[in-house]
Structure 1
Amino acid sequence: MRKLLLAVGGSLILVTPLSQADVVGLGASVSYWDSDLSGKAATNNDVVDVENDLNLDSDSNANASLYLEHPVPVLPNVRLSYTLVEQSGRGEVGLVGFDGVTGDVQSDLDLEQLDLTLYYEVLDNWVNLDLGLTARDLAGDLTVQEVNGLATSETSVDAVIPMAYLSARFDLPFTGVSVGAEGNFISFDGDSLHDFNAYGQYEIALVQFRAGYRQMAIDYEDGDDRLDIEIGGPFVSAGVAF
């Protein structure tokens, strides 16, 4: 990961700062993400399908972001983003079981991530392009418990992961309408994470409305535990920009 961090950081130095904001800008948004889950979890060499075996389904999720842009050369802009996905379900893992748990099970997945992104505006006109680095504090916990017994299994991953950041937006003149995409990604030593979304945006006065599709994939190993899951679905958001 260090090599990737240095490589991306070096690339950013070469392209920055081609463009800076003329004034200080501040924005915030909240969103609803109607996400579906698929993939597998593993612990102690046992593997379970989180969709077909555990029947995990989205109960709630929280998504919010805050950014600050400024006209100071060299210094990067700053974005904070928070995502919380909570899923639960009742399934069946059979007699073979999963990590000592057998039969009917109640399962809960909590996936929480906090992103700190430092980025530069490479282009800032009707085409907007940002490049940067994200430090993602990722915490995922899967609990599987027998419905008619005491056996419980816990699978956990916890790490701070550097990721490349890319955001592009294309404004349609005189309409307040734009389309864009943004994402974070990394692949290193058998682990990989990506988090992308594509959207359409309508802006009126200081208010921004977005609708699009977001997909996040996590393939990460932490000791004897591993999560290899995908979460995807449509989202809507509302925000303000000053």
Structure 2
Amino acid sequence: MRKLMLAVGGSLILVTPLSQADVVGLGASVSYWDSDLSGQAATNNDVVDVENDLNLESDSNANASVYFEHPVPILPNVRLNYTLVQQSGRGELGTSGFVGIPGSVPVQSEFDLDQLDLTLYYEVLDNWANLDLGLTARDLSGKLVVQQIGGGFAVNETKVDAVIPMGYVAARFDLPFTGVSVGAEGNFISFDGDSLRDFNAYGQYEIALLQFRAGYRQMAIDYEDGNDRLDVEIGGPFVSAGVTF
């Protein structure tokens, strides 16, 4: 993880405040993300397919964010974002089994992903075309629990837990219709075999202080923490509602 910190931290000098907000701005939003999970989890050399073997389905997904923008030069704007993904299901392991759980037996599983982002960013463009660049510190916690149903009741837990620096970019383009715009935003890091990507694209409508979005979000996590590794993708449509001041 030190190598990840150096890789992204060294890029800080590339983020310069070319434009700032004219006035103080504050906004908040909540969203629902209808996501599907695919990929693999591994402990040592044992691997399980989270989609085909475990048959995980979404239980609850939530996202909330708040941002603060200001006209003070040099100082970055601030954005906080929280994401929670919870999925569970019943499936059957392949013939090779998984970490003490024999093959071809029924299992019940739970996958939890909890992450909090602190983003510091600058407005590079602020007119009909908007562009923000910055850095994000992501507190990531992911856990997959697989338990045998019946038999010996064997249980295995695969877990990753880290604070990860990521690049941040957001772009939005106002259309020639009052209050309508399209945009995309994302966080990313790739270094020494580990990588994380989190991108979304959306359409937006604003009326008075209210802001509504609908779009598609995809997150890819390929991260190793000790003997445990998650190599998964989470994607699906989302809707959000927010207020801006």
Give TM-score scaled by structure 1 length. 0.97
- Within 1, Cα distance between the matches of 2:60 and 2:5? 35
Look up the match of 2:111. 109
Q: How does 1:82-97 map to 2 (within 5 A)?
A: 82-97=82-97
1:23 counterpart SS class: coil
> How high is the sequence identity, in percent, across the aligned residues?
79
Q: How does 1:181-200 map to 2 (within 5 A)?
A: 181-200=184-203
Q: 1:121 aligns with which of 120, 123, 139?
A: 123
- Do the aligned partners of 1:126 and 1:173 also contact (CA within 8 Å) in 2? no
- Do the aligned partners of 2:8 and 2:189 also contact (CA within 8 Å) in 1? no
2:10 counterpart SS class: helix
Compared with structure 1, are the counterparts of its residues 109 and 127 closer, same or farther at alpha carbon in structure 2 (3 Å cutoff)? same
Q: Deviations over 1:100-124 (max 9, x none)?
A: 1131100000001000000000000
Q: Is 1:167–2:167 an aligned residue pair?
A: no
- Do the aligned partners of 2:53 and 2:94 also contact (CA within 8 Å) in 1? no
- Within 2, Cα distance between the matches of 1:74 and 1:93? 54
Structure 1 residue 173: Cα displacement = 3.6
Look up the match of 1:155. 158
Structure 2 unaligned runs (5+)? Answer: none
Structure 1 unaligned runs (5+)? Answer: none
- Within 2, Cα distance between the matches of 1:143 and 1:177? 43
Look up the match of 2:242. 239
Q: 1:8 aligns with which of 11, 25, 32?
A: 11
Structure 1 residue 2: Cα displacement = 3.3
- Within 2, Cα distance between the matches of 1:238 and 1:4? 35
Q: Is 1:80–2:80 an aligned residue pair?
A: yes
Structure 1 residue 234: Cα displacement = 0.5
Give TM-score scaled by structure 2 length. 0.95
Q: How does 1:44-83 map to 2 (within 5 A)?
A: 44-83=44-83
Structure 1 residue 94: Cα displacement = 4.2
- Within 1, Cα distance between the matches of 2:243 and 2:166? 26
Look up the match of 1:212. 215
